[in-house]
Amino acid sequence: MAQLSKDQYLELYLKMERIREFDMRINKLVRRGFVQGMTHFSVGEEAASVGAMAHLTYDDIIFSNHRGHGQSIAKDMDLNRMMAELAGKVTGVSKGRGGSMHLADFEKGNYGTNGIVGGGYALATGAALTQQYNETGNIVVAFSGDGATNEGSFHESVNLAATWKLPIIFFIINNRYGISMDITKATNTPHLYTRAEAYGIPGYYVEDGNDVIAVYDKMAKVVEHVRSGEGPAIIEVESYRWFGHSTADAGKYRSKEEVDSWKKKDPLLNFRNYLAENSDLTTEELDVIHDQVVQEIDAAYEFAQNSPDPELSVAFEDVWAD
């Protein structure tokens, strides 16, 4: 298991705190009517997003899915502009037009969350072809849940990427449910990463996706493989979403006992305990980070609240390329 510097540990913990606090706040703001539209939370999956992003640069590109808050924050999206986007304000990252499922920041390599299940695969594959053609040395990561791997776009994209040895990672966060569908009732294989064998590429697996260091360690190997020019790879990380599929889903298809058992595997609390035993960080220092993050989220809410609504003309901007 990796032994990181104090600053590296702090960075991982800070980003996990940001994801947790942001989504917990958004959950409240949805109920108050401040955030409009369909919203999907990353609470419980913080380790998967943060561990995955730690080995990427801003030049590396990600494509996320409908549950993309975690990846967006882990890739350093501005919290003020992200909050404003969810509130439909003109200062948002997409000028208030996209909301939760259309978050993007090209300068930091975030090419967008995506409201279409499996919609990011082919886009990511095309971006990987561009990196290969231009010999940039950059890689692309396509994030998805488990359910999306049964879409045709997944298999078509993996097949093409494997055939052309494109620099792309297909990163699957297996939270066991595609909306209300249990993965065991939809897929006749116990582990999704084994599908890599059918395409002649390596598959990687993290059984405890709530362990950010385990994800960090495995992702280091995956990134090294892909960045070296050896072609694509698939990685599956086991995790769990605490809330329903979206704000419209009460999650009644899951038992309280099941949800509670996963909450006991809280990735943020687990990492906090790990740091107490394996680093020089003190409880006081971690508390300072938590308080800092709360202040950041407070400031983001205030920024969004004080931002203007977009003019109707914004709907016609950025539609056509010159």
Mean pLDDT by runs of 10 across the 322 residues of the chain is 90 98 97 91 98 98 98 98 97 94 97 96 98 98 97 98 98 97 95 98 98 98 98 98 95 96 98 95 96 98 97 86 74
The pLDDT assigned to 3 comes to 85
User: How large is the angle between the packed helices 152-164 and 120-134, nearest 10 degrees?
Assistant: 10
CATH number at 6-304: 3.40.50.970
Q: What are 141's strand-pairing partners?
A: 62, 169
Output the six-digit token pair for 56. Answer: 């990427």
What residues contact residue 83 under an 8 Å CB cut-off, 6+ apart?
22, 297, 300, 301, 303, 304
Res 38: pLDDT: 87
Helix (H, G, I), strand (E, B) or coil at 206: strand
> What does the angle CA 121 – CA 249 – CA 105 come to, to the nearest 5 degrees?
40
Q: Quick one: pLDDT at residue 188?
A: 95
pLDDT of residue 220: 98
pLDDT score recorded for residue 319: 85
pLDDT of residue 216: 98
Q: Judge contact between 43 and 24, C-beta under 8 A.
A: yes
Q: How many CA atoms lie within 13 A of 25 on its CB side?
A: 22
Closest to 155 measured CA to CA, from 114, 190, 196: 196
What span, in angstroms and rounded, lies between the C-alpha atoms of 185 and 259? 19
Q: Where are the domains of the chain?
A: 6-304
DSSP state string for 252-285:
TTS-HHHHHHHHTT-HHHHHHHHHHHHSS--HHH
Full-model pTM: 0.96
User: The tokens 């086991």 sit on which residue?
Assistant: 238
pLDDT at site 321: 79
Strands (E), 124-278: 140-145, 168-174, 177-178, 181-182, 203-206, 233-238
Q: Which residue carries 């977009």 as its tokens? A: 310
